[in-house]
């Protein structure tokens, strides 16, 4: 394998005075004859310009897209001899092509060190944040591929939302021609992208000028090196001048990428000619050869270390730098070492190249696995899209499931490039099918909501028509009825919900506030009655009986009449009636009277408080309670009488029989009291 940096590409064929120079496969010059007279070497004809390399499609973009080839008015002369056709190795070609790409802008090497991220898995918010971070912290010329990938992912996700919003707009009766949708996030992205394009345009406008200037400077250096063999001066002085020109070349800066390889080959060719010229002073040449050998051996050692690195991408990036140093910073070595060191360097390069290829094979396998995951997710979405759902809650549950599947899809990783667009299209189609069915359901639901809206508007009209009415007996039940109907109607469109509720609530509150004010005025006397009853209750607690049952009973009846004469109390104060009854119970217990008589006196007093002109609920409850007690007592009596039938001879002297008979008699007395209470209660109805 030939030593690449010693093999200039043959772009033309010019003659030198004296014997021609040929090159063997090692890159060592085979000088048959060359005259010692430095004037015997003729400069190549500058009128024979180099043919430009073909420009790729990518390089024909505008300066705005950072790929415009930069033309130079100064042509690079062809090399002055024709090298034999040489075999190209893929692993070396890959390095040279990458270095040629970086040659136009030395700072562009930074793009290799940027972290590779899975933009596909990011949300739109994360993509915009990532865009902003790159724009603020990185050189604009180094982030092109990252920004374009971010742009692709952002636009894909936004287009999905756009389609969904458009379908919703049309489903609600909108016209497609009137549809427009944007968002603060989209506006933020557009602003960032505009800043990026402006910065990139400004950068490449400046770079174009610098590239032309650097190319002219490098061509001047080549001309100066060519002129060294015609200078009549001390060889040491000439050699020093040569080393100064080499240093100038090293720091001369980037040039157009399409001029890179030919410029370097032309430079290297004339450096070789100068080294041939140095055969008159072998010490200087050998010193250079030794220096170059030492440096190249160090490069080889580092390359062989990199060949053991498991991170093939990192190793490849550093290998690019090593090849650039080998090619641009160092000259040739002695013939006896050229083949051997190049073989070592080439072998290390091939090892790194092969490991990198294997890495990409593994990446491809991972992408295939990701494809299987995404196809499974798409299948789940398609299955869900076939479900027929009939309730809002069911749709909300499925919407959450679909959203989780969308996140899972984006987090599944990249798929092979060849199926990326098809997979994305299939995913969007599945989601779109689901969204169409969802929108169709909610379109019908919205129709029901508009019907509900009309019903509630009618209730509002009823409430507003009666809110100022004084006919409380008629309107109060009506207002309660429409309140219950409102609750049963169901949802209305969200945009109308708060507005109509406030109207309905205001009308109802207005009426019931008026009703309460009326009742409060009527309740003024009830409040006074409560105060008087409270005072009377305190007096009853200190009441002392005379010990004569008839007189004490008459006194209790009188107190009861006085209490009832005070009138009803507010509803929330009726607890005082319970306190009064409890006090009476204590007084009756001290009397030596028939229990039934006492019970009826207490019940009659109770009925006074159950009778409310505007509320029969208390009487209804008491009616239900007494009927239940009568049924229970009758049941007990029947049960006891049935138990007596188990005795063969009913002997009333039998203690057990006697106990049952007494129990039956007590229940009958109790039943008589409950029936009398029921009779009194019916009289009130």
Q: Check whether 69 has a pLDDT greater than 70.
A: no
Summarised one tens digit per residue, pLDDT across range 654-674 is 777 788 888 888 888 888 888
- On whether residue 399 sits in a domain, the answer given is no
**Torsions phi, psi of 233, nearest 5?**
-155, 175
What pLDDT band is residue 190 in, cutting at 50, 70 and 90?
very high
Cα separation of 394 and 399, whole Å?
9
Domain count for the chain: 3
Q: What is the pLDDT of residue 58?
A: 32
pLDDT average, residue stretch 157-172: 78
Whether residue 463 is found in the same domain as residue 514: yes
Instruction: Give the separation between CA 410 and CA 427, rounded to whole angstroms.
Output: 10
Q: pLDDT digits over 73-107, tens only?
A: 334 443 333 333 334 566 666 666 666 666 565 54
| Domain end point (choices 558, 593, 628) | 593
Domain identity same for 527 and 511: no
Half-sphere exposure of 156 (CA within 13 A, CB side): 21
Return the percentage of the chain with pLDDT > 90, whole number: 15
Q: What is the separation of C-alpha 170 from the centre of its chain, rounded to a whole number of angstroms?
A: 26
Pick the closest to residue 50 from 21, 25, 80 (CA basis): 80
Percent share of the chain, pLDDT over 70: 79
Closest CA relative to residue 264, chosen from 68, 5, 26:
5
> Do 509 and 537 belong to one domain?
no
Whole-number Å distance between alpha carbons of 344 and 1:
10
Confidence (pLDDT) at 61? 34
Question: Model's pTM, two decimal places?
Answer: 0.43
Q: Are residues 480 and 541 in the same domain?
A: no
Residue whose structure tokens are 């060519």: 226
Q: 234 vs 53, which has greater pLDDT?
A: 234
| Residue 31, pLDDT above cutoff 70 | no
- For the cut 90, the answer to whether the pLDDT of residue 34 exceeds it is no
Pairing of the two strands 21-23 and 29-31: antiparallel
Residues near 246 by Cβ (< 8 Å), separated by ≥ 6? 271, 331
Distances (CA, A) of 279 to 35, 283, 352, 362: 11, 9, 38, 52
Domain membership of residue 373 (yes or no) is no
Judge contact between 58 and 67, C-beta under 8 A: yes
Token pair 């200190």 is found at: 542
Q: Which of 486, 518, 550 is the last residue of a domain?
A: 518
Q: Which two tokens stand for residue 163?
A: 């389609």
Does one domain contain both 533 and 583?
yes
d(CA 551, CA 557): 10
Domain check: are 514 and 459 in the same one? Answer: yes
On whether residue 641 sits in a domain, the answer given is yes
Dist CA 556 CA 586 (whole Å): 11
Q: Are residues 619 and 675 in the same domain?
A: yes
pLDDT in tens, 622-653: 888 888 988 888 888 888 888 777 766 666 67
Say if CB 92 and CB 122 are below 8 A apart: no
**Residue 622 in domain:** yes
End-to-end CA distance of the chain: 123
At residue 674, φ and ψ (nearest 5 deg) are -65, -35
Question: Coil, strand, or helix at residue 257?
Answer: helix
Q: Which two tokens stand for residue 572?
A: 């929330």
Q: Is 404 helix (H, G, I), strand (E, B) or coil?
A: helix
Residue 272 lies in a domain: no
Tell me if 184 sits within 8 A of 219, measured CB to CB: no
Q: Are residues 533 and 504 in the same domain?
A: no
* Residue 99, C-beta contacts closer than 8 angstroms, at least 6 positions apart: 320, 323, 324, 327
Domain span at 541: 523-593
pLDDT tier at 458, thresholds 50, 70, 90:
very high
Please give the Cα distance from 626 to 607 (Å, whole number).
13
CA distance 381 to 409: 10
The verdict on residue 174 lying in a domain is: no
Angle CA(478)–CA(479)–CA(480) in degrees, nearest 5?
A: 90
- The Cα–Cα gap between 66 and 8 comes to 29
Residue 3 has a pLDDT of 36
Does some domain include residue 241? Answer: no
- C-beta of residue 486 within 8 angstroms of C-beta of residue 452: no
Tell which of 518, 542, 576 closes a domain. 518
**Separation CA 682–CA 685 (nearest Å):** 5
- Between 609 and 254, where is the model more confident? 254
Q: For residue 177, what are its two tokens?
A: 């021609």
Q: Are residues 618 and 684 in the same domain?
A: yes
Q: In the predicted model, is pLDDT for residue 22 greater than 90?
A: no
Query: Is pLDDT above 70 for 168?
Result: yes
Per-residue pLDDT at 70 exceeds 60: no
**Does 675 fall in a domain?**
yes
Which tens digits make up the pLDDT trace of 540-584?
A: 888 887 778 778 878 888 888 888 888 888 877 888 888 888 887
């Amino acid at each position: 394998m030939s030593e690449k940096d010693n093999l200039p590409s043959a772009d033309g064929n010019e003659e030198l005075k004296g014997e021609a120079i040929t090159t063997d496969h090692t890159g060592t010059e085979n000088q048959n004859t060359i005259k010692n007279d430095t004037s015997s070497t003729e400069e190549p004809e500058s009128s024979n310009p180099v043919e430009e390399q073909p420009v790729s499609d990518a390089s024909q973009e505008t300066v705005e897209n950072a790929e415009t080839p930069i033309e130079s008015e100064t042509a690079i002369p062809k090399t002055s001899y024709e090298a034999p056709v040489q075999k190209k190795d893929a692993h070396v070609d890959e390095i040279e092509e990458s270095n040629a790409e970086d040659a136009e802008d030395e700072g562009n090497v930074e793009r290799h060190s940027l972290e590779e991220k899975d933009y596909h898995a990011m949300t739109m918010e994360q993509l915009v944040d990532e865009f902003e971070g790159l724009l603020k912290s990185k050189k604009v010329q180094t982030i092109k591929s990252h920004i374009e990938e971010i742009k692709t992912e952002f636009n894909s996700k936004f287009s999905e939302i756009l389609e969904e919003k458009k379908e919703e707009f049309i489903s609600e009766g909108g016209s497609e021609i009137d549809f427009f949708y944007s968002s603060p996030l989209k506006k933020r992205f557009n602003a960032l992208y505009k800043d990026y394009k402006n910065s990139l345009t400004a950068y490449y406008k400046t770079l174009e000028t610098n590239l032309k200037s650097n190319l002219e400077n490098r061509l001047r250096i080549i001309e100066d090196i060519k002129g060294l063999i015609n200078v009549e001066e001390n060889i040491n002085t000439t050699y020093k001048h040569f080393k100064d020109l080499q240093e100038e070349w090293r720091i001369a800066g980037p040039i157009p990428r399409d001029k890179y390889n030919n410029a370097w080959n032309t430079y290297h060719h004339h450096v070789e000619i100068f080294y041939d010229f140095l055969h008159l002073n072998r010490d200087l040449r050998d010193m250079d050869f030794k220096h170059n050998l030492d440096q190249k051996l160090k490069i080889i050692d580092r390359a062989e270390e990199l060949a053991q690195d498991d991170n093939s991408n990192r190793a490849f990036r550093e290998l690019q730098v090593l090849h650039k140093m080998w090619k641009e910073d160092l000259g040739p070595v002695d013939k006896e070492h050229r083949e051997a060191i190049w073989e070592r360097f080439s072998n290390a390069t091939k090892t790194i190249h092969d490991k990198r290829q294997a890495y990409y094979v593994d990446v491809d396998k991972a992408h295939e696995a990701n494809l299987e995951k995404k196809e499974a997710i798409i299948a789940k979405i398609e299955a869900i899209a076939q479900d027929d759902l009939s309730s809002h809650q069911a749709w909300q549950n499925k919407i959450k499931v679909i959203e989780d599947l969308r996140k899972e899809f984006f987090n599944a990783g990249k798929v092979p490039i060849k199926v990326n667009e098809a997979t994305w299209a299939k995913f969007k189609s599945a989601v779109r099918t689901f969204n169409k069915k969802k929108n169709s359901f909610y379109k019908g639901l919205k129709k029901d909501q508009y019907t509900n809206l009309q019903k509630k508007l009618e209730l509002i009209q009823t409430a507003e028509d009666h809110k100022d009415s004084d006919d409380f007996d008629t309107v109060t039940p009506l207002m309660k009825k429409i309140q219950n109907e409102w609750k049963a109607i169901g949802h209305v469109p969200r945009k109308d919900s708060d507005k109509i509720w406030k109207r309905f609530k205001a009308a109802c509150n207005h009426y019931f506030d008026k009703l309460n004010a009326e009742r409060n005025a009527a309740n003024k006397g009830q409040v006074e009655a409560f105060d008087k009853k409270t005072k009377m209750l305190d007096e009853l607690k200190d009441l002392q009986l005379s010990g004569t049952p008839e007189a004490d009973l008459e006194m209790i009846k009188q107190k009861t009449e006085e209490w009832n004469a005070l009138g009803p109390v507010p509803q929330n104060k009726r607890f005082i009636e319970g306190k009064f009854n409890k006090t009476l119970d204590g007084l009756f217990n001290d009397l030596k009277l028939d229990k039934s008589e006492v019970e009826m006196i207490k019940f009659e007093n109770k009925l006074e408080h159950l009778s409310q002109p505007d509320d029969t609920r208390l009487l209804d409850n008491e009616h239900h309670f007494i009927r239940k007690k009568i049924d229970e007592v009758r049941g007990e009596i029947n049960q006891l009488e049935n138990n007596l039938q188990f005795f063969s001879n009913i002997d009333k002297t039998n203690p057990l029989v006697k106990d049952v008979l007494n129990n039956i008699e007590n229940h009958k007395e109790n039943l008589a009291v409950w029936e009398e209470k029921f009779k009194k209660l019916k009289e009130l109805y």
